[in-house]
Amino acid sequence: MVAAADDWRLIGQDQYLARVRLVRKAYAARSSATDHDHCEFCGAKFMNQAAPGILTEGYCTEDCYRWICADCFEDFKDQFGWLINDEAV
């Protein structure tokens, strides 16, 4: 499914996520100051531990700062022109 131009999840991410390189991988907290991140589009929660409603893998920028869930990745991959670095999940 391709997202519509007025999709509720679009809130200016094109300013920092257009044509960036993403890596598909298991979630890992980037510092001891936080134990989770959220999808840049829908807000789904990423954590190291599996639990109902928690994602443990997805797509992230190469610095692991911004995370995107698989559903939002599929919906926006063409629009944002992401480049993918393959890495084992």
Instruction: Report yes or no on 34 lying in a domain.
Output: yes
pLDDT attached to residue 89:
39
Give just the sign of the alpha carbon dihedral 51, 28, 88, 59: positive
Per-residue pLDDT 10s for the chain (89 aa) are 667 878 999 999 999 999 999 999 999 988 878 899 999 999 999 999 889 999 999 999 999 999 999 999 999 999 999 999 865 43
Instruction: Report yes or no on 26 lying in a domain.
Output: yes
Instruction: Report yes or no on 8 lying in a domain.
Output: no
Between CA 11 and CA 82, with CA 26 as vertex, the angle to 5 degrees is 45
Instruction: Report yes or no on 73 lying in a domain.
Output: yes
Pairing verdict, β 83-85 and 45-47:
unpaired
Query: Can you give the residue range of the structural domain that contains 66?
Result: 14-85
> By C-alpha distance, which of 55, 65, 66, 61 is closest to 26?
55
Structural domain total, the chain: 1
